[in-house]
Amino acid sequence: MQTIDNYNFAGKKAFVRVDFNVPLDENFNITDDTRMVKALPTLKKILADGGSLIIGSHLGRPKKGPEDKFSLRHIVAHLSELLGTEVKFVDDCVGDKVKAAAAALKPGEVLLLENLRFHAEEEGKPRGLAEDASDEEKAAAKKAIKASQKEFTKELASLADVYVNDAFGTAHRAHASTALMAEYFTPENKMFGYLMGKEVAAVNKVMKEMVRPFTAIMGGSKVSSKIDIIENLLTKVDNLIIAGGMTYTFTKALGGKIGNSICEDDKLDLALELIEKAKANHVNLVLAVDAKIADDFSNDAHTDFCDVDKIPDGWEGMDIGPKSEALFADVIKKSKTILWNGPTGVFEFDNFTSGSRAVAEAIVEATKNGAFSLVGGGDSVACVNKFGLADQVSYVSTGGGALLEAIEGKVLPGIAAIQG
Ligand code: AMP
């Protein structure tokens, strides 16, 4: 497989798919440029080699064609600043003016294309179908968009000599620019950018090349949103720690009293099945033994601690208690590979962060002792950032949904398109 380090971009036009889906305020100022900063090593390497850049991204979720609030023109000035060079902008991503702008690019020059999702072809889903459209109409619209997506993809690919995908955040989408256009480049002319390469390597270290013991900590609110992940992890891990709101579905399924705690009553059987699966796979399933409880879902509620299966009526579990913190930390500290997804409690309220902090600190200690730790998929990233510990774990994924699909064991189209 081609790598960005081995490639000399001198004289080449590189199409780089980035994830510049940055948050903007009401005056279109960027409020967090992390995603742009993360792509800089790739962009700068190409320019330093003497290549030119054609940068493609999406911004937001436009569903009806061009809309100014989703225009990438809002980020041009900041990108110029970050790259230290003028960024040219073209207000479309296909068509004659785009072809002309790309053709005129000289080594060291940068062209940013307009939001790829202004065209329905990027995602390949029909738009504007009437709600009462018949099945035939839906099928015809689907067929039509697939045909025009092919032309759109070909045209994007024709702009460049080489394709670089640095957008891990959209790697789980089989969109024109994230996966399909790779087909138009030979294996030596398509590759991951640095960010994407790091994300893929981190996922592989955990899911394929894990050093044992391997511990996953799954938190968050609902079992239902994590079933596929838990099922897949039960075939890989040595220890599976279940935390967060989903604890109480397990506790209730086992006959415990959970008061007003969050619970999915239709998932009680599933919880018991997962417990049986863990046994069958010789996985040490670690459930909380105590809880920090509150008499209201609020930061200022009265609080107390109790056994996880003896929560009084009118109270709810908002975080794990100190015994569970010690239990989880002990397992984590003995691990050599660690995956953390989802907080142990309602970490948004300062009075219920203790469990998540204890998990984060145990991961940091294990990492210092040589473990590989991957934190990702939403709120656990917010946790390590909140605790100022993000730089003390091995890798914090930028991936969100893409990371979750990867740990579900799915093949991500954006990765497969390059790896073959
Ligand atoms: P998820 O998006 O599934 O990872 O869930 C993250 C959310 O789970 C966060 O907003 C937490 O506040 C919430 N959460 C964690 N523990 C609990 C709990 N014990 N009760 C209610 N919500 C919780």
pLDDT > 90 fraction of the chain, expressed in percent and rounded: 97
Q: Judge if 117 and 160 occupy the same domain.
A: yes
pLDDT of residue 420: 83
| Average pLDDT of the segment spanning 293-309 | 98
The phi, psi pair for 395, rounded to 5°, reads: -155, 135
Q: Which residue among 221, 299, 320, 340 has the greatest number of ligand 1 atoms within 8 angstroms of its CB, and so is best to mutate? A: 221
Note whether residue 132 is domain-resident: yes
Model confidence pLDDT, tens digit, residues 241-288: 999 999 999 999 999 999 999 999 999 999 999 999 999 999 999 999
Tell me if 207 is assigned to some domain.
Answer: yes
The candidate with the shortest Cα–Cα distance to 116, out of 158, 156, 82, is: 156
Measured distance CA(237)–CA(250) in Å, rounded: 19
d(CA 380, CA 385): 9
Q: What total of structural domains would you count in the chain?
A: 2
Contacts of 393 (CB under 8 A, 6+ apart): 360, 363, 364, 367, 373, 374, 375, 384
What CA–CA distance (Å, rounded) separates 348 from 346? 5
Q: Is 54 within the bounds of a domain?
A: yes
Residues 156, 159, 161, 164, CA torsion sign? negative
Residue whose CA is at the smallest distance from ligand 1 atom 20: 245
Does residue 174 sit in the same domain as residue 245? no
Q: How far apart, in whole angstroms, are the C-alpha atoms of residue 218 and residue 288?
A: 12
> Which pLDDT band, with edges at 50, 70 and 90, does 25 fall under?
very high
* Residue 417 belongs to a domain: no
The domain that holds 317 is classified in CATH as 3.40.50.1260
The answer to whether residues 342 and 365 belong to one domain is: yes
Q: Are residues 171 and 206 in the same domain?
A: no
Residue 378 in this model has a pLDDT that exceeds 80: no
Whether residues 326 and 271 share a domain: the answer is yes
Distance CA(95)–CA(235), nearest Å, equals: 48
In angstroms, the CA 192 to CA 2 distance is: 8
In ligand 1, the atom with minimum distance to the C-alpha of 318 is 19
Q: Are 235 and 304 members of one domain?
A: yes
Per-residue pLDDT tens over the stretch 38-49: 999 999 999 999
Q: Is 1 part of a structural domain of the chain?
A: no
Mean pLDDT within 153-180: 97
User: Is residue 278 located within the same domain as residue 370?
Assistant: yes
Within a domain: residue 250?
yes
Angle (nearest 5°) at CA 241 between 238 and 243: 170
* Residues with active-site annotation: 35, 222, 378, 401
Task: Return the structure tokens found at 355.
Answer: 């469990």
Could you identify the atom of ligand 1 that is nearest to the CA of residue 244?
16
pLDDT digits (tens, 9 = 90+) for 187-243: 999 999 999 999 999 999 999 999 999 999 999 999 999 999 999 999 999 999 999
Q: Is 299 in the pocket of ligand 1 (CB under 6 A)?
A: no
Residue after which a domain boundary falls, among 175, 192, 209:
192
Q: Which two tokens stand for residue 256?
A: 């415990």
Ligand 1: residue of 225, 379, 384 to mutate (most ligand atoms within 8 A of CB) is 379
Domain-embedded: residue 268: yes
Tell whether 131 and 257 lie within a shared domain: no
pLDDT at 390: 96
Q: Is any ligand 1 atom within 6 A of the Cβ of residue 376? A: no
Distances in Å between the Cα of 64 and the Cα atoms of 70, 126, 217, 272 are 11, 10, 40, 45
Q: How far is the CA of 248 from the centre of ligand 1 (A)?
A: 12
The pLDDT tens digits of the residues spanning 88-128 come to 999 999 999 999 999 999 999 999 999 999 999 999 999 98
> Do 34 and 138 fall within a single domain?
yes
Tell whether 139 and 275 lie within a shared domain. Answer: no
Is the residue at 232 inside a domain? yes
Q: Are residues 229 and 276 in the same domain?
A: yes
58 marked ligand binding residue: yes
Q: pLDDT category, 377, cuts 50, 70, 90?
A: confident
The residues facing 242 across adjacent strands are 218, 287
Burial track 211-250 (b if 16+ CB lie within 10 A, e otherwise)? eebbbbbbbbbbbeebbebbebbbebbbbbbbbbbbbbbb
Res 109: pLDDT: 98
Domain hosting 44: range is 13-192
291 touches ligand 1 (CB under 6 Å): no
Ligand 1 center to 346 CA (angstroms): 5
Same domain, yes or no: 135 and 247: no
Domain endpoint, select from 157, 192, 227: 192
With a cut of 90, say whether residue 155 has pLDDT above it: yes
Last residue of a domain, one of 192, 223, 247: 192
Take residue 265 and report the two structure tokens written for it: 């009553």
Distance CA 298, CA 250 (A): 23
